Amino acid sequence: MMKFLLDENVDRVYKTQLLQQIPQLEIMIVGELGAPSKGTLDPEVLEWCEQNNFVLVTNNRSSMPVHLADHLAHDRHIPGILILSANLSIGRNLDELIFIAQAAFDQEFQDRIEHLPLP
């Protein structure tokens, strides 16, 4: 099953709600024990996601594409980046994440950024 790392700027309610719907989901938040610490630069977060096979869930729409391009240019990889929609409610974003966690194929989002909602 897919694993999610929530960026430190993502509301903590996402973790609570995701675990209520999918108790077996492995999900961490930047700043928690075992995850990158708060304030970790985005390129280092991407490296952590690569090493630990976590899909990054973030609100970072502006600089994340640049960081991903640089990461890939160094022959690195990432399980994927999901960008939450500012136009959707938390509930709709959660519905999207639940669907992805339950239905996505292994490596479906490899080296890609996907904006929610999925097409």
Q: Which distant-in-sequence residues (6+ apart) come within 8 Å of 117 by Cβ?
A: 85, 88, 92, 96
Cβ atoms 50, 79 nearer than 8 A: yes
* Short-list 83, 100, 97, CA closest to 18: 97
Domain count, the chain: 1
Domain containing 30 — which CATH number? 3.40.50
What domain range is 39 assigned to? 3-115
d(CA 9, CA 119): 25
What average pLDDT does range 91-110 have in this prediction?
96
Taking only the tens place, the pLDDT of each residue in 58-77 is 998 888 999 999 999 999 99
**DSSP assignment of 81-100:** EEE--TTS-HHHHHHHHHHH
Residue 106 has pLDDT above 90, yes or no: no
